[in-house]
Structure 1
Amino acid sequence: MTATGLRRFREPPRTGRSGGPPMTLCELCAAPAGEDHGHVVNVERRGLMCACRACHLLFTRDTTGRARYRAVPRRYLHAPRFLLGAADWDEMQIPVRTAFFFRNSAMDRTVAFYPSPAGATESLLPLETWERVLAANPAMADVQPDVEALLVDRRPDGGFACHLVPIDACYELVGLVRLHWKGFDGGQEAREAIEGFLSGLRERSRTVPPAPGGDGGNSGDGGDGGDGGG
């Protein structure tokens, strides 16, 4: 995601006219986008763009799979018991408690990022490990490329929870971490902002039952999730 795409979550809306109240403009047609507007991903540039309702609907359906722009949907799912082992988490080299995973169609592979004070930081993602995780969680595997992501949170008890979310929700979290992070461990303000964000996701999500034969959220060793950023 470009710096321009992330900036919209850290700066006030643009003003539509001189001296008028702040408003967000559609970045495709320059019309007022509205307060509760959607977003469109520029697949080639990895940019997130504000879109009015008409433009968002225009790019909702990708019939070819090769469209330059794709509308970000508003689907929210929550798997409170996500089968993922601590060894797999460590193998993906994620040093904090949350990370998000999405398929980059331009690269034709799944990529992993985690929120940090510097923004969205990419982590090495062993594809075999991630394919194993998805196979263990089939209800969360149907993620639309480029526009949806799996946001995985390591709980303090060592288990994992997962949210299937629009990609813009992930960058909203990244913006919150950048805005509130203080010191080495983020501080209380950042932790409260992260918990508030995750609580909001749970409220708007449809809960997905555990996979058959699941062991309550762990497919490997547990461990203390800590309270690192994101």
Structure 2
Amino acid sequence: MNFDFSQLTSTDAFKLLSSVVVPRPIAWVVSQSPQGRLNAAPFSFFNVVSSDPPIVALGIGPRGGELKDTSRNILATGEFVINVASAGLAEQMNRTSVDYIADVNELTRAGLSTEPSLLVAPPRIAQSPAALECRVWQVLEAAPQRVIVLARVVAMYLCDEAILNPQRFHVDTPSLRLLGRMHGAGWYAHTNNLFQMVTPDADDDPAVRPAQGH
């Protein structure tokens, strides 16, 4: 069956996209209002889109026809922190997805604490094993009250236990036990069922481009 997205409602388009683009990494975003109020919320329309410069993309939809607190804070301050969601923090992450009023600190409600960031004003979640400090690079208005934030990663926190070789920047990714977002409401995936494939040896294939020097 083929689907013409111009003939679909946004709800139906979401159902299809979120069912096949999986697993999606979770951006557990901490933002801060100009008045200093903290907000935390998870988003799965997120990924790294460039390493040079280091750019991440974050899609934030509306809630009740208005900008979400996260969008409002990011647009006002230009800074935010993306924390990763590990398996041991699943319940706390899920708790911060609740639509609290703007004055409520989701971190407090979820029993989480914070640590200061290195370069940006919003803090990171202390219990999260890794965090990306971000500054807005560009904002696209995809639809009314729906924004796509392109942000430059200016600093990163990574727990010492996950660093295999700090000189070579080797990370023990499986040890982070990160969660991924799956299809439908409430479905998640663990990232510990892994396999590895070596790049095929194509030295004798004339159709393959020669290796480029660095």
- Shorter-chain TM band: under 0.3
Q: What is the TM-score with the length of structure 2 in the denominator?
A: 0.26
Answer with 1 or 2: which has the greater Rg: 2
* Higher fraction of strand: 2
* Higher fraction of helix: 1
Q: What is the TM-score with the length of structure 1 in the denominator?
A: 0.25
